[in-house]
Amino acid sequence: MIVSLLLFLFSDHVEYYQVNTGPLARNQTYTGIAFRSEEIVRTDTSGYPSYYVQDGEKIRRSGMLFGIGSGQTERRAQIMTENTRKAVHETIRSFALGYDGVNFHDVYSLKYNITSKIVSDTPLLTEAMQAASFASNGTYTVGSETITASPKDAVVVYATDGYEERTPDTLTREDFDEKGYTLTDLRTNDRLVAGDAVCKLITSEAWSVVIPLTGIQVVRLDGISTIRVKFLKDGVTQNADITVFSGSKGESYARLDFQDGMIRYLTDRFIDLELVTNTKTGLKVPISSIVSKEFFTIPEQYATEGGDDGTDIGFMREVRKSDGTTDAEFVSTTLYEHKDGKYYIDSTDFKAGDAIVMKYSDGEHYILRNTDTLEGVYCTNKGFALFRKIIILDKNEEYCIVESGTRYGISAFDYIVLNSDEVKEEQVIAKK
């Protein structure tokens, strides 16, 4: 306790930094506009609609899409199949779990989805469909109702927003303003007239997202053709082909092309995402902590073991005795690096010109003169500044990412000197 107090009182107080792990910097986030293979389906006749496919559900080519009748449909009492009953129960349960009370309009979506499940499973309708004639315009006539078949394999959506006919090259910065955005629900109990939109078909799993770029962002993305994208809505990541292009007014954009994943964001026109450009992770160290230090290098074959227990790694140094003869003494030293067949040692225990003798040889020796420089930081875990080497993987103006798990290096949660120019190696320090 007394020793600790004396060290605190008489040691230099410097700022320190606790090493942590992570990327060099946060990846930039963007809000983009989604483009899909969207086709709006319109009714050829006037009447009241019946919807046979749920919102977001897949339909096969020639499958029942919707019906138009002369009057509001009066459903005859039917006994639901057990599968339909379970499907309706699951739809209601899922809705109840996710309902937050803010978007009350979702209740109407629930109503239409349940109706679609029940109607599409109506036995009488199924029998009538089997007996009905299939017209050249892709419709069935069942009683007083004209049923339109899907022209393609697709996913059905009952909403439009005016972006369906847009293309990436026609975008302007104003298109990214969400304040004026409106999504119109197409499902209704009201009478439709010929030409009215009934639903929208998404005919391909491939889709794109276009994001606006600044000049600096264009430079950073230069030469990149494939990039990892993280969707902020659900945290899912996937690869995209990226193309940078100029818009109609000369602004810069990037188009991210995906081959799958469209179904997850089916009704989202504006997509919040993150471009994962900072892929290198490791130990995060301030630039101000880095110091360069010069070391002697010795070929690894001159290293030997010695010390009291014979396990310390060191070197045999030639010494001249008083009678003029030479002998060799074992010098234990701190090793700072071992690479390319060489050990890096400090000048504290050796000096230039020292002769290092190879053990068990006929006097073969190495004159200490070669040096090399290592980058590192001052570790303060033991209360004094101790050099530890680092291997820099990436850096910016403030921080660098260094390799973790390196021999003779640092680890996560080590304490290091924040400003290396304020201390000297082996200086006793106390933390501010």
User: 3-12, 14-23, 254-263, 388-397: lowest mean pLDDT where?
Assistant: 3-12
CA angle (124, 126, 127) in 5-degree steps = 65
- Rounded to an integer, the average pLDDT of 331-360 is 91
Report pLDDT for 91. 54
* Residues paired with residue 69 on neighbouring β-strands, in sequence order: 48, 145
Q: Which has more confidence, 322 or 79? A: 322
pLDDT surpasses 70 at 137:
no
203-223 as b/e: b if 16+ CB within 10 A: eeeebbbbbbbeeebeeebee
Report pLDDT for 78. 47
pLDDT surpasses 50 at 62:
yes
Q: Which has more confidence, 277 or 40? A: 40
Binned at pLDDT 50, 70 and 90, residue 426 comes out as: confident
DSSP element (H, E) containing 357: strand 355-357
Residue carrying structure tokens 């499902």: 187
* 44-56 pLDDT tens trace: 999 999 898 889 9
pLDDT surpasses 60 at 122:
no
User: 2-11, 59-68, 233-242: lowest mean pLDDT where?
Assistant: 2-11
- Rounded to an integer, the average pLDDT of 96-123 is 50
Q: Is 219 within 8 Å of 246 (Cβ atoms)?
A: no
Binned at pLDDT 50, 70 and 90, residue 32 comes out as: very high
Report the alpha-carbon distance of residue 370 to residue 17 in Å, rounded.
33
- Rounded to an integer, the average pLDDT of 316-331 is 88
Domains and CATH numbers, the chain: 8-22+285-431 (no CATH), 25-32+206-279 (2.40.30.170), 42-177+186-199 (no CATH)
pLDDT surpasses 60 at 193:
yes
Report the alpha-carbon distance of residue 234 to residue 256 in Å, rounded.
18
Report the alpha-carbon distance of residue 48 to residue 187 in Å, rounded.
11
Q: Which has more confidence, 143 or 270? A: 270
Report pLDDT for 5. 42
Report pLDDT for 297. 95
pLDDT surpasses 60 at 3:
no
Binned at pLDDT 50, 70 and 90, residue 141 comes out as: confident
Mean pLDDT over all residues of the chain?
Answer: 83
* 151-189 pLDDT tens trace: 999 999 999 999 999 999 999 999 999 998 999 999 998
Whole-angstrom CA distances from 352 to 41, 364, 367, 427 are 86, 18, 8, 24
Q: Residue 133 region, left (φ>0) first, then alpha (ψ -120 to 50), else beta?
A: beta
Report the alpha-carbon distance of residue 197 to residue 40 in Å, rounded.
7
Q: Please, what is the end-to-end C-alpha distance for the chain in angstroms?
A: 19
Report pLDDT for 83. 62
- Closest C-alpha to 260, from 203, 204, 201: 204
Report pLDDT for 1. 47
DSSP for 109-159, written as a single string: HHHHHHHHHHHHT-HHHHHHHHHS-B-TTSEEEETTEEEEEPSSSEEEE-E
Report the alpha-carbon distance of residue 89 to residue 313 in Å, rounded.
73
Q: Identity (one letter) of the amino acid at 261?
A: G
Strands 12-14 and 429-431: parallel
Percent pLDDT > 90 in the chain is 55
To the question of pTM greater than 0.85 for the whole model, the response is no
pLDDT surpasses 70 at 132:
no
